[in-house]
Each structure stands twice: as C-alpha cells, then as structure tokens.
C-alpha cells in the first residue's frame, strides 16, 4: 500500500515539476520582453533571414524565424541573431509568419530595420520585442493543467494513504462487519456528496476552459476561417466549457441550498434480503405538496480500455423507488420517512477494486423553482443474516390501488402510482385504452439528438479539413446511430387497449407501428425489464410474455419501478390475472 501511494506521489511530482518548468520558460521570455522596453532603438541591416518549418508525426506544422543582423552602437560594431525573444518554432497565432514576412521584405529591399539594444550590454539586441500574450497563456496552461493535475495527484495520494491506513485499522477492528470499514460509515447518519460533486466539476471546467480558450484565440489570430471552415469546430470546445461552468454553478447553488441535508437510517447497513427504514432531514425549502421521489440503486461502476481509451461506465443492477411526503419541522426543515425492501441475490457494497466496484446510492429528487432538489448518498448495503425478511422482499411492489401506500409501512411513502407515467386513459369500442404519448422525455431525447448531430458535424468538418474519409464514415455513422436513437426516444408512442378478454397493442414512432391483438389465453405473464439507463435513472419496458415464448412490447421508456409495477398490476387486474410473487 505504501509503495503504491509513494509511486503515485512521485508520478504527481513529475507532472507538477514539468508544469512549473514549462511555465517558467514562458515567464522568462515575457520577462525579457518587459526589460527590453527600456532599450535603445538602432537601425540594423539584415544579412540573412529564414522561415524555419517543422512538422511532427501527427501532421501539425510549427514555424520559426532565424537570421542575423549587424548594427553599430556608440561607435562599436556588433552582430546578433536574436530576431525575437521567442526562439524555436510554434504555431500560436500568426506571430512567426508575420515576423518573417516583415523581415524578408526588408531584406529583399535592402532596407534597414529598427532593433533595440541593451545599453548595459550592447552585444545584446533584438529586432521584435512584442509581448505575446497568447504564448504566455499557452505556457500558463501547462502550469494549471500539468502543475494543477500533478499537485492534485500528490494531495490525493497523500490523503488516500491516510484514508487507507484508517480503513485498514477499521478492518482489523470490525473484521466481521464490512459496513464499518469506511470512516464515513461509522454512524447511521450520512452526508450527501453535493460538495464533492461541485468541486470536481469546477476544477474540471476550469481546466477545460484554460485549454480551449487559448486554442480559439490562436485560430482567430491565424484567420483563414472561410478558406478552412473546419477550423470553426474549435468553437465547440469553449461552448462545452460554458456548459460545464454553468453546471458547476448549479451544483454550487444546490449545495448551498440543500447540502446540509442528512440521511438517517434506523440501523446500518441497508439489509440485503430485508427491510431498511429511516428518514431524510432536508434543510431547505420544499414547495407545493412536499412530494419527493426517493430511489435506492445498486450499480456497478467499472473502467474499460487503457490509456487514452480508458472510460468509466456505470451499469444499474437493481433499483427501487417510491414517493415520500415531507413533514414540516419546527426549525423550517422537512422530514421524509422511508422504508425499502431489498431482494436477496443482489451484490453487496464492494470497493476493494477501485476500477470495478459495487456502489449503493440513495437519491432524493424533486423539481423546484430555481435549483432542483437532488441529493445523493453512498450507503452501505450488505447481507445481514438476522435482518433477512421472512416474506419475499418484492411482494409490496404490486399495488392493489393507484393510491395505496407500500405494504402497510405507514411511513408516508407510496411505492407506485400508474397515473404518474404520463398515461392518457380513455374508453373506446374495444375497452379501456392507455396511451403513452410521444415527447414524454423531451429533455433527455433532445440532448441525445443534439449529441448525435454534433458527432456527425465533427466527422463532416474533419473530412473537409483534409482528414481521412475513415473519420467521416466513423463519426457520421456513430452520430447517425445516436441521432436515430434520440429521435426514437422522443417520438415513440404506444397504446394498449384492454377489453373483451384481450390486449390490443399499437406502438412505434408516433404510433405508426404494427397493431397486435393478443387474447387472454395467449398471455402467460406481463413483466417489465430494463436495458437502458441515463445517469442514475433506469428506463423500463413493459411486455406481454406469451405462451409460445414470444414477447410483445406494450410500452417503452417508462421511469420509476413502483409506477411501472402498479401499471402492470392494473393490466393484470383487468385481464383477470394473478400477480406472481
């Protein structure tokens, strides 16, 4: 453990030193420009001038200027090769090209040009003493990115070392109680992660903008946007930066408004195969009827790929949700009581492997004027033999009425209400019809459509920027798939009619798909499944399982397990079917 922490600290130190070193080299150039402002002007003659060009393996071209000139100062002759204080090659703006163009013109015309001599050391002179703010900003990026990341790694590794030492001591002290192995799990009171989320996004957005803004400035200085329209794609990066910063501001306001809210459970940990009850104390305003959606999620967070291709994915393994109604307290805060039944067989909390861990997240959310209420708590969930339920944990999920609360809890929670699914209920010649209209998820669907369009635009732009046609095919194909899925997500409509002992189902884009009639005798069961999640939210499909083994989709893209199960119970009731425990 110590070896790992030490290696990480050394790795961070290398980044930090590299960032400081590159920044200091930029500061040195800027300092030379600053001190040259008091130098004496002289006229010089150019003996040579050359535009140096360098192209790396990735096709990026940089430019520099080399040459020599002669001058006289106080009766003495001198020679210098310092065209500017920015030696080497670069492509930050058009400085190097413009300087060469100016000097080459003077050389061809045998025209003297102005330079500046250090009166304290006349052998030192320079032709161009322009301060290049873009170059200073470029070097500052290394300070903020490399230096900042390096310092962050150092601090994180040192904190991680202390945390691991504490965790090791707790493991030895509570060998048979893994829910006490983390310092933050020592009590039955849990704090939300709003502060941690805000700081992470703030730092990330600052780094993003520090990198993207100078790139945009450089492209604007170079010009040629009409001749090379692919350069316009660089403006997407500061646009993303603005979105990131606005999201960070939203997280900050949420933290200030609700960050001190506390989750209290009657007994830790959350019991797999049993029931866990408790209350959420919200320190902040709740408007309207005080209804808050509570959810408990078991998710796997793991990393795939290596190096630049490494990505973090989250898969929801199990999720349950219910509505709770806030009680006003004397101090202006609100109390929400809850009770969750967790079925046997779902995995326990496990963070032994940081690259592949099991997390349990308790979430409270509600639409509010201004900043929405959204609180996340990471909680321990384990198998505890003496707390296992005698009855199956899922039994309370099927509701006998859309307004019935969960299985005799008496705690102000409601497991499901099928009328909250956005259903339009009507009666026609065939029976009772339940319609799930299009545009029920406008925000998520529109974001997906825009993301697909942006991805395709990047492919088209790279192609016109002389990139390989492979980029055009890959980006456009992937972008089209995302665009089509977002469009389907937005426009999908389904309708199911129950009557005369049969189901009449019609679904598809705007309901234009095929229509199917299923008699009661053909239906073996009506179930729900999920193969899609966005963030911490699962989307469910409801299907009829037929006696011949086939499945027919009844509705898609539904949220909230309790509401979905209540709708399934409603359909079964009307068909005269029994719920399966």
Name beta bridge partners: 274.
388
Q: Which ranges in 115-174 belong to alpha helices (H)?
A: 133-142, 148-173
What is the arithmetic mean of pLDDT over 266-295? 90
pLDDT computed for residue 20 by the predictor: 84
- Torsion on CA atoms 518, 521, 523, 524, rounded to nearest 10: -170
Name beta bridge partners: 445.
none
pLDDT computed for residue 576 by the predictor: 85
Supply 453's token pair: 């369009």
What is the arithmetic mean of pLDDT over 468-485? 82
pLDDT computed for residue 362 by the predictor: 95
On the question of pLDDT at 410 being above 50, the answer is: no
What is the arithmetic mean of pLDDT over 547-553? 89
Give the pTM: 0.66
- Please report the domains of the chain, with CATH numbers, ordered by start residue: 1-137 (no CATH), 176-383 (2.60.40.640), 420-575 (2.30.29.30)
On the question of pLDDT at 394 being above 50, the answer is: no
Cα 90 to Cα 419: distance, rounded to the nearest angstrom: 63
Listed residue (233, 29, 246, 25) closest to 141, CA to CA: 25
pLDDT tier at 408, thresholds 50, 70, 90: very low
On the question of pLDDT at 494 being above 50, the answer is: yes
pLDDT computed for residue 502 by the predictor: 87
Min mean pLDDT across 34-48, 339-353, 448-462 is at: 448-462
pLDDT tier at 507, thresholds 50, 70, 90: confident
Sign of the torsion formed by the C-alpha atoms of 494, 495, 498 and 502: negative
pLDDT computed for residue 47 by the predictor: 93
Count of CB atoms situated within 10 Å of the CB of 263: 22
pLDDT computed for residue 580 by the predictor: 66
On the question of pLDDT at 44 being above 90, the answer is: yes
pLDDT tens-digit readout, 216-255? 766 666 566 666 665 666 777 788 888 888 888 988 998 8
pLDDT computed for residue 557 by the predictor: 87
The residue written with tokens 């697909």 in the block is 452
User: Does residue 127 contact residue 102 with C-beta atoms inside 8 Å?
Assistant: no
Count of CB atoms situated within 10 Å of the CB of 482: 19
pLDDT computed for residue 406 by the predictor: 35
pLDDT tens-digit readout, 305-358? 776 667 788 888 998 888 898 888 888 889 999 999 999 999 999 988 888 999
């Amino acid at each position: 453990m110590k070896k790992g922490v030490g290696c990480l600290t050394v790795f961070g130190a290398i980044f930090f030193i590299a960032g400081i070193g590159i920044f200091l080299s930029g500061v040195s150039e800027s300092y030379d420009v600053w001190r040259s402002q008091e130098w004496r002007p002289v006229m010089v003659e150019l003996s040579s001038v050359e535009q140096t060009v360098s192209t790396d393996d990735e096709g990026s071209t940089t430019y520099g200027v080399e040459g020599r000139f002669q001058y006289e100062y106080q009766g003495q002759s001198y020679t210098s090769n310092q065209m500017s204080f920015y030696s080497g090659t670069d492509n930050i703006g058009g400085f190097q090209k413009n300087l060469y163009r100016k000097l080459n013109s003077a050389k061809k015309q045998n025209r003297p040009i102005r330079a500046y001599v250090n009166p304290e050391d006349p052998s030192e002179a320079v032709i161009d003493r322009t301060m290049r703010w873009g170059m200073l900003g470029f070097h500052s990026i290394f300070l903020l990115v490399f230096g900042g990341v390096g310092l962050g790694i150092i601090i994180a590794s040192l904190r991680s070392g202390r945390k691991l030492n504490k965790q090791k001591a707790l493991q030895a002290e509570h060998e048979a109680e893994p829910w006490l192995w983390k310092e933050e799990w020592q009590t039955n009171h849990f704090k939300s992660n709003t502060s941690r989320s805000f700081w992470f996004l703030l730092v990330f957005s600052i780094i993003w903008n520090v990198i993207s803004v100078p790139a945009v400035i450089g492209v604007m200085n170079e010009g040629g946007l009409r001749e090379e329209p692919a350069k316009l794609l660089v403006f997407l990066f500061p646009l993303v930066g603005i979105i990131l910063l606005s999201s960070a501001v939203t997280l900050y306001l949420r933290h200030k408004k609700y960050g001190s809210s506390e989750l209290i459970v009657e007994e830790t940990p959350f019991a797999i195969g049993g029931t866990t009850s408790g209350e959420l104390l919200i320190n902040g305003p709740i408007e309207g009827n005080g209804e808050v959606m509570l959810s408990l999620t078991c998710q796997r967070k793991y990393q795939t790929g290596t190096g630049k291709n490494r990505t973090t994915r989250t898969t929801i393994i199990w999720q349950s949700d219910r509505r709770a109604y806030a009680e006003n307290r004397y101090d202006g805060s609100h109390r929400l009581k809850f009770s969750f039944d967790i079925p046997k067989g779902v995995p326990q909390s496990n963070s032994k492997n940081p690259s592949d861990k099991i997390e349990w997240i308790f979430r409270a959310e509600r639409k509010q004027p201004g900043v929405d209420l959204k609180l996340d708590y990471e909680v321990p969930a384990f198998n505890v033999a003496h707390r296992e339920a005698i009855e199956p944990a899922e039994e309370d999920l099927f509701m006998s009425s859309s307004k019935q609360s969960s299985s005799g809890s008496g705690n102000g929670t409601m497991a499901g209400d099928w009328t909250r699914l956005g259903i339009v209920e009507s009666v026609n010649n065939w029976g009772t019809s339940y319609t799930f209209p299009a545009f029920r998820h406008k925000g998520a669907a529109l974001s997906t459509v825009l993301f697909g369009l942006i991805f395709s635009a990047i492919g088209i732009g790279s192609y016109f920027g002389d990139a390989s046609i492979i980029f055009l095919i890959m980006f456009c194909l992937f972008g089209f798939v995302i665009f089509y899925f977002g469009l389907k997500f937005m426009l999908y409509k389904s309708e199911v009619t129950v009557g005369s002992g049969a189901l009449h189902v019609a679904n598809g884009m705007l309901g234009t798909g095929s229509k199917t009639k299923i008699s009661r005798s053909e239906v073996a069961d009506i179930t729900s499944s999920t193969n899609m999640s966005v963030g911490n939210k699962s989307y469910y499909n409801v299907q009829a399982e037929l006696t011949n083994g086939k499945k027919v989709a009844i509705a898609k893209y539904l949220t909230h397990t309790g509401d979905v199960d209540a709708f399934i119970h409603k359909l079964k009731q009307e068909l005269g079917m029994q719920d399966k425990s």
